[in-house]
């Protein structure tokens, strides 16, 4: 946070702050819009202005934080103007979870932890493919899969959806696929195919 942004946050009137998130037993969490224009030396001609949403965290009962401060300020920058400040913060924190969790998934479940060769270009391509796989799985969970799988990791998706064992059976002149899974996951798979956008 720059000094200019911090000064702009402190200048926001007290009446503009509104609580957000679930109540916390020891802290008061508030947010507000901040009218702030950064003093950039060079800007692109068609660049749209960013939106600044400030977060203020205060201890209850007049207590101090570990560093002796009474209040902490943070800011979220976004180009989305249609959301209310509280919803913007929720959306921002829902996007991918914590960075450490994403790194763990990339390294241990999508192969980014074991590089394929000794060449830098091959490593770069491998890491990009892992990141693309993570983004595709995240989009799949949000668009096509049931809400209970929203936090599922790739390993769970493989066992439930992608690597479902089955057997081809000939019966009454028909070819059928019998899946060794619960009916609800078969239904979820079919519903997911229906929800995914079709491109031609």
Residue 119 lies in a domain: yes
Answer whether residue 24 shows pLDDT above 80. Answer: no
Whole-number pLDDT of residue 68: 64
Determine the Cα–Cα distance for residues 6 and 18; give it in Å rounded to an integer.
18
Higher pLDDT, 90 or 199: 90
Query: Average pLDDT, whole number, for the chain?
Result: 82
The total number of structural domains in the chain stands at 2
Residue 159 lies in a domain: yes
* 76 lies in the same domain as 8: yes
* Token pair for 179: 């899946």
Residue 88 lies in a domain: yes
Collapse the DSSP code of 138 into the 3-class scheme (helix H, G, I; strand E, B; otherwise coil) and give the result. helix
* 53 lies in the same domain as 90: yes
Alpha-carbon dihedral angle through residues 91, 110, 198, 179, given to the nearest 10 degrees = -110
Whole-number pLDDT of residue 129: 93
* Token pair for 67: 């560093």
> Domain residues for 8?
3-94
Determine the Cα–Cα distance for residues 93 and 102; give it in Å rounded to an integer.
13
pLDDT, tens digit, 9 for 90 and up, residues 186-199: 777 777 777 777 66
Residue 26 lies in a domain: yes
Residue 137: how many other CB atoms lie within 10 Å? 19
* 60 lies in the same domain as 135: no
* 129 lies in the same domain as 180: yes
* 116 lies in the same domain as 58: no
Higher pLDDT, 81 or 42: 81
Residue finishing a domain among 94, 113, 134: 94
* 76 lies in the same domain as 111: no
* 59 lies in the same domain as 125: no
Answer whether residue 73 shows pLDDT above 80. Answer: yes
* 83 lies in the same domain as 104: no
Residue 59 is given by DSSP the state: E
Q: Which of 39-48, 114-123, 146-155 has the lowest mean pLDDT?
A: 39-48
Residue 48 is given by DSSP the state: P
* 186 lies in the same domain as 111: yes
* 64 lies in the same domain as 134: no
Whole-number pLDDT of residue 127: 92
pLDDT, tens digit, 9 for 90 and up, residues 160-170: 878 877 788 88
* 116 lies in the same domain as 189: yes
- Burial classification of residue 135, based on how many CB atoms lie within 10 Å of its CB (0-12 exposed, 13-18 middle, 19 or more buried): exposed
Answer whether residue 86 shows pLDDT above 60. Answer: yes
Residue 200 lies in a domain: no
pLDDT, tens digit, 9 for 90 and up, residues 121-148: 999 999 999 999 999 998 888 888 888 8
Whole-number pLDDT of residue 45: 59
* 105 lies in the same domain as 129: yes
What average pLDDT score do residues 89-102 get? 73
Q: Convert 4-40 to b/e letters by CB count within 10 Å (16 or more is b).
A: ebeebbeebeeeebeebeeeeeeeebbbbebebeeee
Residue finishing a domain among 94, 124, 140: 94
Q: How many CA atoms lie within 13 A of 38 on its CB side?
A: 16
């Amino acid at each position: 946070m720059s000094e200019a942004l911090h000064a702009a946050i402190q200048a926001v009137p007290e009446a503009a702050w509104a609580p957000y998130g679930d109540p916390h037993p020891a802290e008061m969490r508030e947010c507000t819009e901040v009218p702030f224009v950064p003093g950039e030396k060079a800007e692109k001609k068609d660049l749209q202005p960013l939106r600044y949403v400030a977060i203020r965290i205060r201890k209850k009962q007049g207590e101090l934080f570990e560093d002796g401060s009474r209040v902490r300020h943070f800011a979220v920058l976004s180009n989305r103007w249609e959301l209310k400040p509280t919803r913007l913060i929720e959306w921002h924190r829902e996007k991918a979870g914590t960075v450490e969790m994403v790194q763990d998934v990339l390294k241990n479940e999508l192969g980014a932890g074991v590089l394929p060769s000794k060449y830098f270009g091959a490593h770069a391509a491998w890491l990009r493919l892992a990141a693309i796989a993570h983004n595709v799985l995240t989009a799949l969970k949000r668009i096509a899969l049931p809400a209970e799988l929203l936090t599922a990791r790739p390993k769970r998706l493989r066992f439930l959806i992608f690597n479902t064992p089955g057997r081809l059976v000939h019966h009454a002149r028909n070819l059928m696929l019998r899946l060794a899974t619960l009916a609800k996951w078969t239904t979820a798979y079919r519903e997911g195919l229906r929800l995914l956008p079709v491109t031609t």
